[in-house]
Copies of this chain bind each other. A is one copy, B any other.
Amino acid sequence: MEAIEELAIQPCTSSLYLRPFRLCYRQNGTKKFWDFMRTHDSVSILIFNTSRQCFVVVKQFRPAVYMCELERHHPELFENQDKEGLSRVEDPLPAVVGVTYELCAGIVDKPDLSLEEIACEEILEECGYRVPVTNLRKITSYRSGVGVTGSRQTLFYAEVTDQMKTGEGGGHPEEGELIEVVEIPLEDSMKFAYDETFPKTMGVIFSFMWFQTNIAPKLPKK
């Protein structure tokens, strides 16, 4: 995952993935506009393996996270970018600064499937566990990126056992996905959550804390 080479950046004049729009409106009599991105809603799942008392999360190289770190060290990187040019990154950082721990997650882009069904598909594809839809418990939903995307993210909790493991997970390598499944032992989880040397999403921190409050007290004592 961490062999990242031949980095180059260029301004992106057209993208299948980033679709910017402008909303013009009048608020309390004042004309305004706001630029935003059209995105999909998403689901994420806190997975707890009861056989081995650990959380199952994923990690992957995130170019956007990597570039934030690179810019912190090389603030000149995005300056003097002409409209079309491709700039080689001459002194890249190690790829590990862009490797991010996240909950298993996916976008909501299948109108025929429920959020729960999409969540179960992601658990299987990314983490290799076959989970019945009825095993999912909805934690809550919230808004992400309210300035730019504003999409709705729905967070689920799923308990799995080693017997449910039917594959390796890892996403779709043929589509370029390179996802590593990581197990975080329950006893180390809060230390991990607050250890900022491991870049992670708020979803990981929040859901680990939610577990401590809502699930841990009911776990059978060892």
Tell me the A133-150 residues at the B interface (CB within 8 Å). 140-150
Q: Assuming A1-B27, A148-B149, what are 16 further A-B pairs, CB within 8 angstroms? A: A4-B26, A7-B23, A10-B22, A11-B22, A12-B20, A15-B22, A21-B78, A34-B63, A39-B148, A62-B143, A64-B145, A64-B150, A100-B143, A144-B145, A153-B202, A209-B210
A220 contacts B by Cβ under 8 Å: no
Q: A12-B21, A20-B18, A143-B199 are in contact. Are A64 and B5 (CB under 8 A)?
A: no
Inter-chain contacts of A17 with B (CB < 8 A)? 35
Question: Which residues of the partner chain B approach A21 to less than 8 Å between Cβ atoms?
Answer: 9-12, 67, 78, 81
The secondary structure that dominates the A interface is mixed
Chain A 57-78, CB-CB to B under 8 Å as 1, else 0, gives 0000111111110010000001
Count of A residues near B, CB < 8 Å? 83
Min C-beta distance of A170 to chain B, whole Å: 13
Known A25-B5, A30-B176; judge A62-B146 contact (CB<8 A): yes
Task: Indicate if the CB atoms of A1 and B28 lie closer than 8 Å.
Answer: yes
Q: Are A149 and B196 in touch, CB under 8 angstroms?
A: no
Contact A37 B213 (CB under 8 A): no
Q: How far is the CB of A15 from chain B (nearest CB, A)?
A: 4
Give Cα A37 to B68, complex, Å: 10
**Across-interface contacts of A26 in B (CB, < 8 A):** 4-6
Q: Distance (Å) between the CB of A75 and the closest chain B CB?
A: 9
Give A108 Cβ to nearest chain B Cβ, in Å.
Answer: 11
A32 interface hit (Cβ, 8 Å):
yes
Q: Which residues of B contact A202 (CB under 8 A)?
A: 142-144, 153, 202-203, 206
CA distance A163 to B200 in the complex (A): 37
A130 at the interface (CB under 8 A from B): no
**Assembly CA distance A170 to B18 (angstroms):** 31
Contact with B along A78-89 (1 / 0, CB 8 A): 100100001000
Cβ of A37: which chain B residues have Cβ within 8 Å of it? Answer: 18, 37, 64, 148
